[in-house]
Amino acid sequence: MISVNNFKNGLTIQVDGDLWRVVEFQHVKPGKGSAFVRSKLKNLRTGAVQEKTFRATEKIEKAQIDSKQMQYLYADGENYVFMDTTTYEQLELPGDEIRDELKYLKENMTVGVQMHGAETLGIDLPNTVDLTVTATEPGIRGDTSSGGTKPATMETGLVVQVPFFINVDDVLTINTGDGSYISRANS
């Protein structure tokens, strides 16, 4: 059990039999009445986001989530196949479970697969990935990095706003948290 005063972003808790991840939280101490914690929680099974308020004295059950390092191998129809890097066991995940992460996923990439007992909850991507530009408007002479941006389609289908000097076949470092361009990758 964990006190709601110890909430942190990314903490996984169990409330009413469901697994929830703390997305945001705020400690509130009103002038009148007792303190409470206002939180935004994401259901790990359904993806639904819900706001919930807890009294500051409440204790919540902390969920035991294990993360296994697995390598993404290939797509098999609607399923995506991952291999445990230590036991070489393969695991298939349905595409609708990892829909948001697919736009950053490349073959042979190592990711963390979140498990609760034998149940698979999703995948943890690295903070950044290097992706190749497959389509963008050509850069025009005189455009600088301090200028505007243009859309670029990456090898995974992700569309990112990039500076004008980026061309097709450039390898870019992309932030997986918000899908933004960081820099050209060091090759």
Closest CA to 34 of 7, 5, 1: 5
Instruction: Evaluate if residue 114 carries a pLDDT over 70.
Output: yes
Tell me the pLDDT tens digit for each residue of 4-36: 888 888 888 888 888 888 888 999 898 888 889
Query: Is pLDDT larger for residue 173 or for residue 120?
Result: 173
pTM of the predicted model as reported, rounded to 2 decimal places: 0.71
What pLDDT does 38 receive? 92
44: which residues sit within 8 A by CB, 6+ positions away?
12, 18, 19, 20, 21, 114, 116, 121, 122
Instruction: Evaluate if residue 145 carries a pLDDT over 60.
Output: no
Instruction: Evaluate if residue 143 carries a pLDDT over 60.
Output: no
Q: What percent of the chain has pLDDT over 70?
A: 95
What pLDDT does 110 receive? 92
83: β partners? 71, 90
